[in-house]
Structure 1
Amino acid sequence: MFKPYLSRWNLISDGDPIVTRSSYLLPVRMDGHINGNPAMLKIAMDTEEKFGGLVMQWWNGDGAARVYAYEGDALLMERAQGTNSLIEMAYQGQDDEASRIACNVIAKLHKPRSTPPPELIPLNIWFEALESAAQREGSLLLESLAVARKLLASPRDIVVLHGDVHHANVLDFGSRGWLAIDPKRIIGERGYDYANLLCNPELPTVTDPLRFICQSHVIAQAANLERRRLLQWTLAYAGLSASWFLEEDDHQNADLDLFIAELALQALSMEANNRDGIY
């Protein structure tokens, strides 16, 4: 599947193919030469992944990897060359700094642009999966749905969202700094993009209640968000993510999301009690 684009865009392979849940990737060199600029050739396997390239083009390298070429399912983009990793930082006691870096990248992505964005999907359409799952499963998903409905009914700070910000989608691009990859194509309240930092299943500490409380404060401050609003988006997002996993019959990851939803619900309850003078 890579061969037509290697020829069309004058690329040579520069490493082994990488397969993810949604894409095939191949490190390449441009200009048909081993000393050409390093890039990443990505072939999307699903529709939403394919349309993320439109958002990448619109960002034009500001907060996200540069797009060199884009056609159909294929995207040729700047390749991360830095040696640092947000997930490794989080493993090694730099969780706060990793969260602040991710928040800084999100803020760049949310900046206004001079050109109109591509066609986008309203955030409420994404939450239809939570509507269905909550009616079917009940319990904590109903709590997530209730909060999601309130947030979606009164959105604040509408922006083009990344839609899937986590520690593996913000990479070290060396002299270009930290940049995002793999966006979706949605529009909605900016708070949604910060919630996933509290829900990343790749972090073994994600279900640690103390880590959750600490990072909710760090992220709220770094993102200039009301912490209560961040917790509400986290509860809504965790329920939505659990709904997606349940659609795939992946109960292990769904249960992890539901645990995080419970942490968000407990934190919201504590905030309400503190506000009312109950300690």
Structure 2
Amino acid sequence: MSTAPVEPPQRLVSALSGDPDSPVRKWLAALPTVVQQRLDAWDLTLERVQAPGGRGSLVALVRQQDGTPAALKFPVPGQASAREGAALAAWDGWGAVRLLRSDETDGALLLERLHGAVSLRSLPEAKALLEAAGTVRRLWVAPAEGHPFETLAGRTEEAVAALETTGALVPAAGPLVDEARELRRALPAGSTEQVLLHGAFRQGKVLAGERVPWLAVGPAPVVGERAYDLAGLVLDRFEDLVAGSGGAATARRRVARLADSLEVERDRLRAWTLYLAVAAGVRESAAGDRRHGELLLEFATWL
């Protein structure tokens, strides 16, 4: 139990600084009280709120009643976060952080404690890609009958609409946006593969652990084909490729290496990566970060 004050980290507050009457802002305002109530209900002792933390959740480092360290997470409400606990329960610690407890009323997730400051991004690129591939492979399991996860086809409809809206704000990217939009419509229908995916996989989502060296965190789970998860890995550290010489050839080699090592079709991995790069590029450009957006769009042209 803890009586220490709980304050959301500034990064989370800044990320959610929209309409004060929106449900997310109301959630943020109530968060200190909700966290304290959960600490009391589960007999947890607060050590500290993790800072700077992320833009999609509050994570508090806590001790359980028996002194065992753990992490108490409150994801920002939304469809993806509502399914995070279900995915972690399905994996049961295999390749991912272990879920110890959860509560549907406030979305709280009590997780095993990992080394939050040490991700695969701390490793040299070749080693990081190798470890990432080994980790994500473990997550690809058949979803249980009646599972609660959305499919890639379902996620596609909303994503295509968003791409059309943001793409209109970046006219120069028109041809790339058209190609990405068509790929996104066609790709889910072109595969019968239905496995549980992390849904937001990248090197920064794999943290050092005690049980095993590396464990995935922060899924946005979805059911579909494995190439979707690998596309995030192709995009990892893309800025380094854009800044260096021979970046286009290196990007294509990365696609081939990841696809071949995990028995995924190269063309489908290339297509999913192109879509994600374009979607992120126009989103960043429309939000005002033109430099980052243009780099993503340049990377997409290499594919």
Q: Same fold (TM over 0.5)?
A: yes
2:196 matches 1:183:
no
* Matching residue's letter, 1:205: D
Q: 1:53 aligns with which of 85, 88, 93?
A: 85
2:150 matches 1:146:
no
Are residues 245 and 54 of structure 1, via their aligned partners in 2, closer, same or farther at CA, if it must alter by over 3 Å?
farther
Q: 1:3 aligns with which of 30, 36, 59?
A: 36
Map of 2:261 onto structure 1: 222
Map of 1:268 onto structure 2: none
Distance 2:199 2:286 in 1: 19
Contact 2:129 2:233 in 1 (8 A): yes
Distance 2:189 2:122 in 1: 38
Q: What is the CA deviation profile of residues 166-199 of structure 1, one whole-angstrom value per residue up to 9, with x for unaligned ones?
A: 1111111133231111111311111100000122
2:289 matches 1:254:
no
Q: What runs of 5+ residues in structure 1 fail to find an aligned partner? A: 265-279
Q: 1:169 aligns with which of 205, 213, 220?
A: 205
Contact 1:81 1:173 in 2 (8 A): yes
Distance 1:215 1:46 in 2: 35
Distance 1:160 1:253 in 2: 30
Contact 1:86 1:168 in 2 (8 A): yes
Q: What is the CA deviation profile of residues 39-91 of structure 1, one whole-angstrom value per residue up to 9, with x for unaligned ones?
A: 111111231224312211221111111111111321111121498531111xx
Map of 1:235 onto structure 2: 274
TM-score by length of 1: 0.81
Contact 2:285 2:294 in 1 (8 A): no
Q: 2:152 aligns with which of 102, 123, 137?
A: 123
Contact 1:87 1:168 in 2 (8 A): yes
* Matching residue's letter, 2:84: G
1:223, distance to aligned residue in structure 2 (A): 1.6
Map of 1:106 onto structure 2: 136
* Matching residue's letter, 1:100: L
Q: What is the CA deviation profile of residues 205-227 of structure 1, one whole-angstrom value per residue up to 9, with x for unaligned ones?
A: 15351542342233123222222
2:75 matches 1:75:
no
TM-score by length of 2: 0.75
Distance 2:190 2:179 in 1: 17
Contact 1:200 1:206 in 2 (8 A): no
Contact 1:64 1:109 in 2 (8 A): yes
Contact 2:49 2:58 in 1 (8 A): no
Q: 3-state DSSP class of the match of 1:174?
A: coil
Q: 3-state DSSP class of the match of 2:231?
A: helix
* Matching residue's letter, 1:67: L
* Matching residue's letter, 1:58: A
Q: 3-state DSSP class of the match of 2:275?
A: helix
1:244, distance to aligned residue in structure 2 (A): 4.4
1:261, distance to aligned residue in structure 2 (A): 1.4
Distance 1:75 1:157 in 2: 29
Map of 1:276 onto structure 2: none
Contact 2:119 2:205 in 1 (8 A): no
Contact 2:180 2:278 in 1 (8 A): yes
Q: Percent identity?
A: 27
Q: 3-state DSSP class of the match of 2:219?
A: coil
- Higher RCO, 1 or 2 (CA under 8 Å, sep at least 6)? 1
2:58 matches 1:24:
yes
Are residues 204 and 107 of structure 1, via their aligned partners in 2, closer, same or farther at CA, if it must alter by over 3 Å?
same
Tell me how many residue pairs correspond in the alignment.
255
Q: 1:205 aligns with which of 232, 235, 240?
A: 240
RMSD over aligned Cα atoms: 2.5
1:142, distance to aligned residue in structure 2 (A): 0.9
Distance 1:145 1:219 in 2: 24
1:95, distance to aligned residue in structure 2 (A): 1.3
Are residues 54 and 199 of structure 1, via their aligned partners in 2, closer, same or farther at CA, if it must alter by over 3 Å?
same
Contact 2:83 2:148 in 1 (8 A): no
Q: What runs of 5+ residues in structure 2 fail to find an aligned partner? A: 1-31
Q: 3-state DSSP class of the match of 1:27?
A: strand
Q: 1:88 aligns with which of 122, 132, 140?
A: 122
